[in-house]
Structure 1
Amino acid sequence: MKRPPLSPLRTLARYIAFTLLYTWLIGCITPYQPELKSLDQPVLIVDGFITDQPGPYQVGLSYTADYTAKAVNLRATGAKVTVTDDTGAKQDFIEVAAGIYRTPTTYQGQAGRTYKLTITLADGKRYESTAEKLKAAPPIDKVYDEFSQKETASGLDSGFDVFIDTRDSPTPGDYYRWRWTNFEQIIYCGIKTQTVRGVTTETGQSCCQTCWDVITCTGPNCINTLSDEAINGNSISREPIMRVPFTSYGKYYLEIEQLSISREAYLFYKSVENLTVSNGGIFDAAPATVKGNIRSLTNAGEFVFGYFSVSGAQKVPYVVDRLTGKGSPAVKPAVIPPGPLDPCVACVESDYRTRIKPRWWPL
């Protein structure tokens, strides 16, 4: 039987789900783009967080619309972004790239405090998040990895599965989220392409500053959350964090975060997860559930999507020793070194590149 077409609201909701996943996590990748002819104007998407770990913290502001090569134009630039706690103390976010706002590294959330986000766009529109209390997270007891090889349609997938062990707190009503970040120090911040007599060559252009590539999870399976409803007070064992690719014998540096999130944040992330894997059936979750904790102060009827998360966190470093892998790594082709006269290229702050030294680098 042929499925009926998706309603405009469900189409919008599914679009938001995919957009959130990609713009939150890597920023530069073109996400899934269905047709949205029913939308009269772009919808603001807000993604931000603070924790009780050392900053900086980040808020991303963007709009729904066709994602093309001009996607950077969809970032909301020139906004004033501020977080305020329940004592009235305020901290401004600084715009470090188009639509990307960060706090100073000296600012840090505190367990027991309540926080909310306020946004004033360049056109004067104002927005506010629901206040959330920062609840401390339990420690990560153990991090470990296991090498495995899997047959796939495209060949043999070799990699290292990373797991953590932890323990839920004895009180009921705890909700968790896990995320990871891989940092890789880079030599080249640009690639120069030249074609001479029909032969094209690429050479790397050195970074002007010390620079790291920032790699995070992408795709619909990256929202990793858990409710303690069925395991209250018990151990959480072999919680999967990520799969490290076997592309080198070099060490793979990770920072793993265990977040204690609110029930509202948990329901939001589960809604996004459900919508990305949904097949459009009649028993799907209602699209309205994807709406987060941001509301417009200028127009009460305006749709706003995204979430400002206030989380207790435990962050730990972990290094995967890929020398323990079996067989040969799927080595990526190396970039040819630059010539002596090539100028350096600036390390530009973005979702996927930073000049800020990782917290435990080097271990």
Structure 2
Amino acid sequence: MKNISFIYKAFILLFLLVSFSSCEEIIDLPLKGADSPALIVEAEIVDKEGSSFVRLGETLDYYEPIEEPKASGAIISVTDQNGVKMDFLESDEAGLYLPQDSDYKGVIGNTYTLAIEYKGNSFTSESTIFPVTGIDSLQIRFVPESRFQDEGYYLYFYGKEPQDTKDYYFWRNYKNDTLNYEDVGDLVFATDQGIGENIDGLQFPFVYDAGDTVRLEMYSISEEAYNFYDDLTAVVFNDGGLFSPPPVNPRTNIEGTTTNVLGVFMTSSVVSATIYVPEE
């Protein structure tokens, strides 16, 4: 996952949509000047070794388009409620920051504070890791072509979701160890009410081939992270019609000495399961 910045790709698409939107549809993405570029933050603390990272980028200047700008040289740390601090150091990949301790992982129930110093500005965010429900089983089914989906093998998820708490979930699907992600439409997230207590065959929208190895990762996320993904999807798929609301920046859980920041700090517990598509 660390080598795929899907949030950055989403904001580039959002930037292009803004460029072609009508005059009634105003969004606050910076185009040029003192407030440009905006810092893009994609940060995750996960209760699995080797899965936590912070990725920083910057929005493109519409008037002077350049290759995807990485945000190098930042000072980043994550501290839990007990004062245990972990520094995140920039890796060989510009803009990607990894824990100084490669064995670092989050703990369910802990609250983490992200601190970023970049170009004279300070940014902070706080988020708690909530438990995630288990994956009871996975199933692969062949689905013939229809008006609504392509022919192929699809993944189905079975499990139970406790309804006594308000929970939010995020899924990642992998095909032969490659993340299924092309655009914002491939983001899969839901509330516990949306999936219900008995998850009886939740289908994911990705087509697999005979012989593929399929891995599903299920993450618990905060309400703030859910709101970010929900807003991001709504803005990108806003058709600009008469009854469509004017697009606005997705809500972020990151604050700073400047409001010129986009992205999300996500803390998660994760479970995963693997299944194989049978050979024909």
TM-score (norm 2): 0.80
1:120 paired with 2:83, answer no
Contact 1:179–1:258 (8 Å) recurs in 2: yes
Q: 1:182 to 1:230 in 2, by over 3 A?
A: closer
Of residues 30-39 and 132-141 in structure 1, the stretch that sits farther from structure 2 once superposed is 30-39
Contact 2:175–2:208 (8 Å) recurs in 1: no
Query: Where does 1:198-277 land on structure 2 (aligned, <5 Å)?
Result: 214-229=178-193, 234-246=197-209, 251-277=211-237
Contact 2:152–2:207 (8 Å) recurs in 1: yes
1:85 paired with 2:80, answer yes
Q: CA offsets per residue over residues 218-266 of structure 1, 9 Å max, x none?
A: 223222121123665x2112222342343xx5x3233321111112221
1:315 paired with 2:272, answer yes
Aligned equivalent of 1:109, options 106, 109, 118: 106
Deviation, 1:85, is: 0.8
Supply the distance in 2 between the matched residues of 1:69 and 1:245 (Cα, whole angstroms): 36
Which structure carries more strand by proportion? 1
Q: 1:181 to 1:118 in 2, by over 3 A?
A: farther
Deviation, 1:95, is: 2.0
The structure with the largest alpha-carbon Rg is 1
Aligned amino acid, residue 237 of structure 1: D
Q: 1:54 to 1:178 in 2, by over 3 A?
A: same
TM-score (norm 1): 0.63
Q: Secondary structure at the match of 2:87?
A: strand
Deviation, 1:91, is: 1.4
Contact 1:80–1:119 (8 Å) recurs in 2: yes
Query: Where does 1:138-153 land on structure 2 (aligned, <5 Å)?
Result: 138-150=133-145
Deviation, 1:149, is: 3.9
Supply the distance in 2 between the matched residues of 1:31 and 1:158 (Cα, whole angstroms): 28
Aligned amino acid, residue 49 of structure 2: P
Q: 1:161 to 1:71 in 2, by over 3 A?
A: same
Consecutive unaligned residues in structure 1, runs of 5 or more = 1-21, 185-213, 325-363
Supply the distance in 2 between the matched residues of 1:240 and 1:114 (Cα, whole angstroms): 32
Q: 1:120 to 1:183 in 2, by over 3 A?
A: farther
Contact 1:160–1:245 (8 Å) recurs in 2: yes
Supply the distance in 2 between the matched residues of 1:63 and 1:181 (Cα, whole angstroms): 27
Q: 1:180 to 1:245 in 2, by over 3 A?
A: closer
Q: 1:59 to 1:135 in 2, by over 3 A?
A: same
For these two proteins, the number of residue pairs brought into alignment is: 260
Of residues 63-72 and 159-168 in structure 1, the stretch that sits farther from structure 2 once superposed is 63-72
Contact 2:41–2:57 (8 Å) recurs in 1: yes
Q: Secondary structure at the match of 1:179?
A: strand
Aligned amino acid, residue 6 of structure 2: W
Contact 1:46–1:306 (8 Å) recurs in 2: yes
Contact 2:55–2:95 (8 Å) recurs in 1: yes
Aligned equivalent of 2:159, options 157, 166, 180: 166
Deviation, 1:60, is: 1.5
Q: 1:75 to 1:226 in 2, by over 3 A?
A: same
Contact 1:177–1:258 (8 Å) recurs in 2: yes
Deviation, 1:43, is: 1.0
Contact 1:26–1:216 (8 Å) recurs in 2: no
Residue number in structure 2 paired with 1:9: none
Q: Secondary structure at the match of 1:270?
A: helix
Q: 1:110 to 1:278 in 2, by over 3 A?
A: same
Supply the distance in 1 between the matched residues of 2:8 and 2:228 (Cα, whole angstroms): 20
Q: 1:47 to 1:112 in 2, by over 3 A?
A: same
Q: 1:230 to 1:291 in 2, by over 3 A?
A: closer
Supply the distance in 2 between the matched residues of 1:26 and 1:43 (Cα, whole angstroms): 12
Supply the distance in 2 between the matched residues of 1:37 and 1:60 (Cα, whole angstroms): 20
Deviation, 1:69, is: 8.9
RMSD: 3.0
Residue number in structure 2 paired with 1:76: 71
Supply the distance in 2 between the matched residues of 1:139 and 1:229 (Cα, whole angstroms): 16
Q: Secondary structure at the match of 1:293?
A: coil
Aligned amino acid, residue 92 of structure 1: D
Residue number in structure 2 paired with 1:344: none
Supply the distance in 1 between the matched residues of 2:134 and 2:198 (Cα, whole angstroms): 12
Supply the distance in 1 between the matched residues of 2:176 and 2:45 (Cα, whole angstroms): 20
Q: Secondary structure at the match of 2:219?
A: strand
Q: Secondary structure at the match of 1:290?
A: coil
% identical aligned pairs: 27
Aligned amino acid, residue 135 of structure 2: I
